[in-house]
Amino acid sequence: MTSVKKQYKVKDEVIPVRRFGAEDVKGIRKRTRTTQGFLANWLGVSKKTIQAWESGRNTPNGTSARLLSLLEDKVIGIDVFLEREEEDESDRS
């Protein structure tokens, strides 16, 4: 395990996943200029799930919450997967 830490510079601590409320989710979606449907597809959830989060009936957890954290902190952009899709499509041509 030590060699893995040296090779990849693994941090010893994992940042806890934040809890996102309705306004947080809506704010992230507005800042990324996406629709509920697009964000749902990007996160791997249904559009109804996004609607439930934005209305406060439910909250994101697990992988969805982690991805929202990365978007919120601008560690990744919503286009990170779009670029990959475009590359894949150009490879097929």
Task: Output the average pLDDT for the chain.
Answer: 83
* pTM tops 0.85, yes or no: no
Q: Give buried/exposed letters for 33-67 (b at 16+ CB in 10 A, else e).
A: ebebebbbebbebeeebbebbbeeeeebeeebbeb
E strand spans, 32-91: none
Cβ–Cβ under 8 Å, residues 69 and 79: no
pLDDT, position 21 = 97
Q: Cα(34)–Cα(28) distance, rounded to whole angstroms?
A: 9
* Residue type at position 42: W
Is residue 89 over pLDDT 60? Answer: no
Q: What is the mean pLDDT of residues 87-92?
A: 55
Cβ–Cβ under 8 Å, residues 32 and 78: yes
pLDDT, position 11 = 64
> In this predicted model, what pLDDT tens digit does every residue of 33-78 receive, in sequence order?
999 999 999 999 999 999 999 999 999 999 999 999 999 988 888 8
Is residue 28 over pLDDT 80? Answer: yes
